[in-house]
Amino acid sequence: MKHNILVIGGTGKTGRRVVEGLTQQGHNVRIGSRRNAPAFNWDDPTTYSQALKGMDRAYIVYYPDLAVPGARDAITALTEAALKEGLEKVVLLSGKGEAEAEACEQIVANSGLNYTLVRASWFNQNFSEGAFLDFVLAGQVALPMPDAEIPFVDADDIADVVTKVLVDDNYNGQTITVTGPRKMTFREVVATMAQTIGRDIHYQPITIEEFKKGMEAAGLPESYVWLFGYLFQEVLGNPDNQSVSKDVENVLGRKATDFQEYAEKTMATGVWNQEVTQSI
């Protein structure tokens, strides 16, 4: 059965991969973004209904993160609009070990819609498509929490899980936790990238305050600085966030992508061979 599916954040790390997967399956996909028509803007609730109109299902990615102030109100307004427009089901991308994100999960669970929650650990792609790419290019990855053991998850795995649970009602009402197959420290992932790329890349442990000051000095918004401080202190410091889940394997019938495999695949794209443009 083919569905009409809204993918909010359809140009982002997981969203564009979900769009690709659903399109390949023959579903009718609408990208929810400011630039698309009809436009979708998290900061403008009046855009929600028009973007949801005519859709059967939706993938919800809240930008920049479910932890930020205003997320609960936005998720509440979105689910109310989805219910009014007659959507059958929504899938929410959430954060593993985030108390604030879990509050948003409850809003979705209590909305009256069919739903699946997908809780993700930290993305591998933070080092190739996100905030830490310039660190890798510069050869100096300065990050807090050196002792945190993180089951980094690949965005391809997240997208494959989301694509499946969006259209498979056997996962209705479930919470799927997506992680990589093993826990690694920042020092270990940096060493893996250095070996794969074939050049020196050093990990430099710093305090959370030093990291935030560096972000401020780079001119990043206060909300962005706060968010990363929260993610490092509250999320990586949460023991629940440092556990490995088998849900990727259970849902997809294959093993989760290992960081080494991600590093080799990313190296082949050439993204780690470009010149550094800026640093946090």
Q: What is the mean pLDDT of residues 195-204?
A: 97
So what CATH class is 4-121+154-179+243-256?
alpha beta
pLDDT tens digits for range 23-44 = 999 999 999 999 999 999 999 9
The pLDDT of residue 34 is 94
The pLDDT of residue 149 is 93
pLDDT tens digits for range 129-141 = 988 999 999 999 9
pLDDT tens digits for range 47-78 = 999 999 999 999 999 999 999 989 999 999 99
| CB atoms closer than 10 angstroms to residue 240 | 11
* Domain assignments of the chain as residue spans, ordered by start: 4-121+154-179+243-256
pLDDT over 90 (residue 261): yes
Which has more confidence, 224 or 249? 249
The pLDDT of residue 238 is 75
